[in-house]
Amino acid sequence: MLRMSAKNLVANMRQGELSSVEVTEFYIDQIKQHNDSINAVIAQRFEEALVQAHHADERARAGEPIGALHGLPMTIKDAYEVRGLTCEVGHLPYQGRVSTRDAVVVKRLRAAGAIILGKTNTPLQCADLQTYNAIHGTTNNPYNLAHTPGGSSGGAAAALAAGMTPLEFGSDIGGSIRTPAHFCGVFGHKPTFGVIPQRGHVPPAHGALTASALSVMGPLARCVDDLALAFDVTAGLDDQSGAGLRLSLPPASVSNVRSLRVGVWLRDDYCPIDNETCLGIEAASRSLEALGATVHEAKPNFDLAWHHETYLMHLSAIIGAGFSAQQVGMMQQVVDAAHRDDKSPNVLQARGTLLRHRDWLIWNEIREHLSQQWRAFFNDYDVLICPVTPTTAMLHDQETSYAARTIKVNGEVRPYSDNVVWAGVATLCGLPSTAVPVGRHSNGLPFGLQIVGPEYGDHTTLAVARMLEEAGYGSAPVVSFA
């Protein structure tokens, strides 16, 4: 069962070769065996899950209609409301808060037959690329416990990589699906903005009816089939949108690798990438070329620095909306002390936090112009392949403030915030992006790439991910760790 995809587990349960009870007991045992080392699963409902598994088996034996995930146990990121479980996102004021309703994503997973085993850890308020908080502690990377699994869906990716769940669901505003997938050697899909409803995700606050302007909900898995399966059962507009709207995503723009046109953007002085990672992504891209694809070094017609500044003006305004008066005052001090031409990450964040609405409207117009550059790019290419972050998973660093943290890229000290630069390439304009594992770095940690597609081109990025998987790029067997 450990080596089987979620899709194959469901198929075996449909055929009576496995029961939901067997699979559910197996994954409960996996969590009990391995979670002490990884600390990924931070709330559980094992008894209720086994009752649901019994009912799932009874329905299957009775020949009742069953869903695409019938009887499949899975965990889910703590940020989703799950009726009867806490939803704390590491935030002490939320400690012990039990949800009385399911998020839309959870409703759809359950309607398809999934059984929620428990919830996986996040950073405080899902606002870091490392996963630790004052309530549930630190989640470790299964490949090396001294390193982070990423964030904010770090618990989700770690649970997958460690074999504690066959499927997961995360969320992404600054790489929060793609970075953990890249750090833990699994697949992740950041959908086009708005195609999977956010309602019932925290943040924003519990019970909020409005959605974040950049955040998306999406699956993580150990193979593309599972990624596509989870995406298909959750995609669709929120029922609150009204009867006049319906989502109809186009099929993949390519069905054969020989007709595929790939742009590859790997090297940019604004945010340099580890050399070994670059070479690995380049080799993966060339494997598509060897199969008949057209592969060129290419990028949209904008500067990465300008794109990232625009991204931070949007991202920081969203994050800053939840800041206390003291935090806002600190941002004001940063802006007041900075030269007007200072474009350092901390200054850009502070400016974005303090942005007035009339100024935000200007930045939003700039974003639309960048979207036009993307549309022009996708007239010539089906997808863009680029990095997820500059390096493999970082060592845990909880003593240094976010603003003061650094990473090292090819021997050069770089700002920690470089970790969101390449993620923002897909996020700012709401584009779909599928993270694909590429291999193991010489340091023993996994690394991956992201496939960015045109707006609503989710099936295209998933199709290209499948082409790479068939070429030999995919999740390693479940990690053995000590």
Of 323, 338, 363, the one marking the end of a domain is: 363
Task: For residue 461, tell me if it sits in a domain.
Answer: no
Same domain, 196 and 50: yes
Task: For residue 283, tell me if it sits in a domain.
Answer: no
Same domain, 176 and 320: no
Task: For residue 148, tell me if it sits in a domain.
Answer: yes
Task: For residue 324, tell me if it sits in a domain.
Answer: yes
Q: pLDDT for 199-252, tens place per residue?
A: 999 999 999 988 889 999 999 999 999 999 999 999 999 988 667 888 999 999
Task: For residue 370, tell me if it sits in a domain.
Answer: no
Residue 55 three-state SS:
helix
Q: pLDDT for 35-53, tens place per residue?
A: 999 999 999 999 999 999 9
Catalytic residue IDs: 77, 152, 176
Same domain, 314 and 252: no
Same domain, 184 and 57: yes
Same domain, 94 and 212: yes
Of 194, 229, 256, the one marking the end of a domain is: 256
β partners of residue 144:
141
Pure H helices in 267-405: 275-290, 304-320, 325-337, 345-353, 357-380
Per-residue confidence band for 115, with pLDDT thresholds at 50, 70 and 90: very high
Please enumerate, as own/partner, the contacts of 21-26 that have beta carbons within 8 Å and a separation of 24 or more.
Answer: 21/50, 21/53, 21/54, 21/57, 23/53, 23/71, 23/72, 23/73, 24/49, 24/50, 24/53, 24/71, 24/73, 24/115, 24/117, 25/50, 25/53, 26/1, 26/2
Q: pLDDT for 342-395, tens place per residue?
A: 999 999 999 999 999 999 999 999 999 999 999 999 999 999 999 999 999 999
CA distance 161 to 138: 16
For the chain, the domain total comes to 2
Q: pLDDT for 403-448, tens place per residue?
A: 999 999 999 999 999 999 999 999 999 999 999 999 999 999 999 9
Average pLDDT, the chain: 96
Task: For residue 217, tell me if it sits in a domain.
Answer: yes
Same domain, 227 and 334: no
Same domain, 210 and 317: no
Which CATH number fits the domain that encloses residue 188? 3.90.1300.10
Same domain, 249 and 331: no
Same domain, 310 and 196: no
Of 238, 256, 274, the one marking the end of a domain is: 256
The pair phi, psi for residue 113, each rounded to 5°, is: 110, 0
Residue tagged 């935030």 (tokens): 91
Task: For residue 168, tell me if it sits in a domain.
Answer: yes
Residue tagged 């309607």 (tokens): 111
CB within 8 Å of 220: residues ≥ 6 apart: 153, 156, 157, 160, 167, 168, 169, 170, 177, 180, 181, 186, 187, 188, 189, 227
Task: For residue 123, tell me if it sits in a domain.
Answer: yes
pTM over 0.85: yes
Residue 196 sits in which domain range? 6-256
